[in-house]
Structure 1
Amino acid sequence: MENPYQTPAADVIAAPATHTAWAFKNPTWLTWVCRACLVAGALVSLLMIAVVARQYSLFEEAAANGWTVDDVYAESGLTFLAATLLQFMTMMASFVFIGMWIYRAAWNGRVFAGARQLDFTPGWSVGWYFLPIANLWKPYQAMKEIWRASARPDKVDDAEVPGWLPLWWFLWLAFSITSNFAGRNSMKANTPEAEMDAALASITCDAINVPLCFVLLLIITRVHRMQWQRQAERLQALAG
Structure 2
Amino acid sequence: MLCTTCRSNTATTPEGLCDACVRAAAAAGPPPGPPVPPAAGRPAGLRSPVGLARAVVVLLGVVAAVDVFALWTGTVLRDVMGDVVTGDHGTDIDQRADRADALYIAGGVAQVAALVVTCVVFLVWFHRVRVNAEVFEPHIHRKSRGWAIGGWFVPIVNLWYPRRIAVDIWDASGDRSVALDRTLTLDASASRPPHPVVNAWWTLWVSNLLVSRWATRAYQDADDAEETKSTVTQLMFSDALDIAAAVAAIVFVLRLTRMQDAKARSGPPPRPVTEPFPAP
Partner of 2:258: 225
Q: Which has the higher helix share?
A: 1
**Cα drift, residue 168 of structure 1:** 1.2
Deviates most, 55-64 or 159-168: 159-168
Uncovered stretches (5+) of structure 1, i.e. residues with no partner: 7-20
Q: With structure 2 as the length reference, what TM-score do the two structures score? A: 0.72
Q: Distance in 1 between matches of 2:94 and 2:167?
A: 47
Is the contact between residue 151 and residue 161 of structure 2 (CA under 8 Å) also seen in structure 1? yes
Summarize the alignment of residues 144-223 of structure 1 with structure 2, pairs less than 5 Å apart: 144-151=167-174, 152-154=176-178, 155-156=185-186, 157=190, 160-223=193-256
Partner of 1:13: none
1:47 has 2:80 as partner: no
Is the contact between residue 120 and residue 142 of structure 1 (CA under 8 Å) also seen in structure 2? yes
Q: Distance in 2 between matches of 1:162 and 1:4?
A: 32
Is the contact between residue 147 and residue 223 of structure 1 (CA under 8 Å) also seen in structure 2? yes
Q: Classify 1:216/1:106 alpha carbon distance in 2 versus 1 (closer, same or farther; 3 Å).
A: same
Give 1:123's match in structure 2, choosing from 130, 146, 158: 146
1:60 has 2:93 as partner: no
Q: Distance in 2 between matches of 1:67 and 1:132?
A: 45
2:254 maps to amino acid: T
Q: Classify 1:113/1:98 alpha carbon distance in 2 versus 1 (closer, same or farther; 3 Å).
A: same
Partner of 1:90: 114
**Cα drift, residue 77 of structure 1:** 2.6
Q: Which has the higher contact order (CA 8 A, sep 6+)?
A: 1
Q: Distance in 2 between matches of 1:73 and 1:63?
A: 12
Is the contact between residue 204 and residue 242 of structure 2 (CA under 8 Å) also seen in structure 1? yes
Partner of 1:107: 131
Partner of 1:9: none
Q: Distance in 2 between matches of 1:133 and 1:229?
A: 35
Q: Classify 1:70/1:137 alpha carbon distance in 2 versus 1 (closer, same or farther; 3 Å).
A: farther
Is the contact between residue 106 and residue 121 of structure 1 (CA under 8 Å) also seen in structure 2? no
2:253 maps to amino acid: I
Q: Distance in 1 between matches of 2:255 and 2:73?
A: 33
- SS of 2:146 mapped into structure 1: helix
1:79 has 2:64 as partner: no
Is the contact between residue 107 and residue 121 of structure 1 (CA under 8 Å) also seen in structure 2? no
Q: Distance in 2 between matches of 1:133 and 1:67?
A: 46
**Stretches (4+) displaced over 6 A:** 1-4
Structure 1 vs Structure 2: percent identity of aligned residues? 20
2:225 maps to amino acid: P
Deviates most, 58-67 or 30-39: 58-67
Q: Classify 1:101/1:67 alpha carbon distance in 2 versus 1 (closer, same or farther; 3 Å).
A: farther
Q: Classify 1:194/1:224 alpha carbon distance in 2 versus 1 (closer, same or farther; 3 Å).
A: same
**Cα drift, residue 79 of structure 1:** 1.9
Deviates most, 178-187 or 124-133: 124-133
Deviates most, 155-164 or 186-195: 155-164
Partner of 1:29: 51
Is the contact between residue 109 and residue 146 of structure 1 (CA under 8 Å) also seen in structure 2? yes
Count residues in correspondence.
223
Greater Rg over alpha carbons, structure? 2
Is the contact between residue 129 and residue 135 of structure 1 (CA under 8 Å) also seen in structure 2? yes
Q: Distance in 1 between matches of 2:203 and 2:152?
A: 15
Deviations 1:152-182 (A, max 9, x none): 3325445534312111111111101111012
1:134 maps to amino acid: V
Q: Distance in 2 between matches of 1:42 and 1:106?
A: 26
Is the contact between residue 140 and residue 168 of structure 2 (CA under 8 Å) also seen in structure 1? no
Partner of 1:10: none
Is the contact between residue 148 and residue 161 of structure 1 (CA under 8 Å) also seen in structure 2? no
